[in-house]
């Protein structure tokens, strides 16, 4: 039993020190997967354009949430900030976030329509394993901004 303890400690240490994946490499891997999986060049191009739109929407969402975070921090620091102003900003960002979520849903539907069920199963599996949308949007906010 004692022989396995150092091995277990090493495995746990590696698991704990895992750095976040390189997003550029994941994007390149996703492109390679699409090109290898989707049979027709026109559908490959369509899907790659949709992935570009997804990435743009992710960046747009990150920018919006950074602004929201900045505004809420400023209002929180302002002793004289009125409740109705805070509620107005929260309502605005909730509406914008809901609209962006609907755009993500629309993009996913378009991606599915550009693929067969078998192709989509492979691509969706890769995305679920490597491109967690919540992390892509909220991870950049964790460091400040």
Is residue 28 one of the residues assigned to a domain?
Answer: no
Answer yes or no: is 79 within a domain.
yes
Least confident stretch, 87-91, 99-103, 141-145: 141-145
Q: Is the dihedral of CA 124, 49, 107, 39 positive or negative?
A: negative
For residue 22, being part of any structural domain is answered with no
Q: Residue 68: which domain range?
A: 41-142
Range 126-131 average pLDDT: 90
What value does the mean pLDDT take over residues 71-89? 96
Alpha helices (runs of H) in the chain, residue ranges in sequence order: 4-16, 23-37, 41-77, 83-113, 117-130, 133-142
| 124 assigned to some structural domain | yes
Which pLDDT score is estimated for 22?
84
More confident call, 12 vs 47: 47
Q: Which whole number is the average pLDDT over 12-24?
A: 59
Q: How confident is the model at residue 72 (pLDDT cuts 50, 70, 90)?
A: very high
Q: Looking at the predicted structure, is the pLDDT value of residue 67 above 90?
A: yes
82 domain-assigned: yes
Cα→Cα distances 42→46, 76, 96, 111, 114, Å:
6, 51, 33, 13, 9
pTM for this entry? 0.76
Residue 7's pLDDT is 37
pLDDT for residue 34 is more than 60: yes
Q: How far apart are CA 43 and CA 41, in angstroms?
A: 5
Mean of the per-residue pLDDT values for the chain?
A: 85
Q: How many domains does the chain have?
A: 1
The reply to whether 27 falls in a domain is no
- What integer pLDDT is reported at residue 63 of this predicted model? 94
Tell me: pLDDT of 4 over 80: no
Domain annotation covers residue 129: yes
Q: Report yes or no on 17 lying in a domain.
A: no
What pLDDT is stored for residue 9 in this prediction? 38
């Amino acid at each position: 039993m004692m022989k396995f303890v150092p091995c277990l400690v090493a495995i746990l240490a590696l698991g704990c020190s895992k750095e976040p994946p390189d997003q550029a490499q994941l994007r390149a891997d996703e492109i390679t997967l699409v090109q290898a999986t989707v049979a027709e060049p026109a559908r490959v191009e369509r899907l790659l354009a949709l992935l570009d739109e997804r990435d743009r929407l992710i960046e747009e969402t990150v920018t919006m949430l950074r602004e929201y975070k900045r505004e809420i921090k400023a209002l929180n620091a302002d002793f004289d900030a009125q409740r109705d102003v805070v509620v107005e900003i929260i309502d605005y960002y909730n509406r914008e976030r809901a609209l962006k979520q609907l755009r993500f849903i629309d993009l996913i539907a378009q991606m599915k329509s550009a693929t067969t069920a078998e192709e989509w199963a492979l691509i969706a599996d890769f995305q679920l394993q490597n491109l967690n949308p919540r992390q892509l949007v909220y991870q950049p906010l964790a460091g400040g901004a």
